[in-house]
Structure 1
């Protein structure tokens, strides 16, 4: 069994609701947050299996086509790989908000399906998000939770950026291996 890190996309990996970006509806709208690429490289080098779990209701609402979402994710994965990080798989819920699907966060289905497919030990894994729905999904799946932002809410810990969270996770993993 492997140790995984499940990453929300918008607000953890890339900018949203900034001066440059309101919504990510095409690859040109995708801008990595400061330190995100380095954080994913650090996690990959630290031996974590990385996954992206993201609600993308814009597809279900008709703001973009599923093909465009795939192009956005292809662009994202290429940049992450070039920076030395590796995402094992991206899972996206494309249903409309409030449609009642089982995969949309705060439901844990995306996390649990990925864990099953890739032999991930959820009790030793982490969900990193910037909204309560991310933390709720991680908790429901049985992971530890990290919040990106200045209010941990119900998360186990919080950090200002993915880079800070990655550095802490790798230091924790190294400390655990010493004993």
Structure 2
């Protein structure tokens, strides 16, 4: 069910529960929920967001899941969290301090939940949250605790730098590294 415009507008500041359990293969970490996701309660829910198609095309899931099926990710050893929990219309509404604090919260979550890999979805947010201004998309030389660390492009439809095929290729590189580890 699609939320109404008023429901989407009212979602500012809402939070979405993590899709998480201990010992995941990959924990995907978004920047923060958009208003559409806040209204639906599902990660990467806005039509046009390419997270779910890229995840499937990369071979992480046997079929393309709908955001409402996000709980099924756990069956595949996958999970989702966010650097900042509150929903906003745009990621640029987040303060630097929020992103830095989110990086600290993520590090603590990773220490507690022990995923093998963490994939931060959004290179600019990763750079800010972890103080790595020159970080690029791909495998990072440093880990996050005991977890391997990967940075993926933002799958928002607004990210014109990465079309779906290129985005899926980046997700597939992570999948190959996770399978080899």
Common topology (TM > 0.5): no
TM-score by length of 2: 0.44
TM-score by length of 1: 0.44
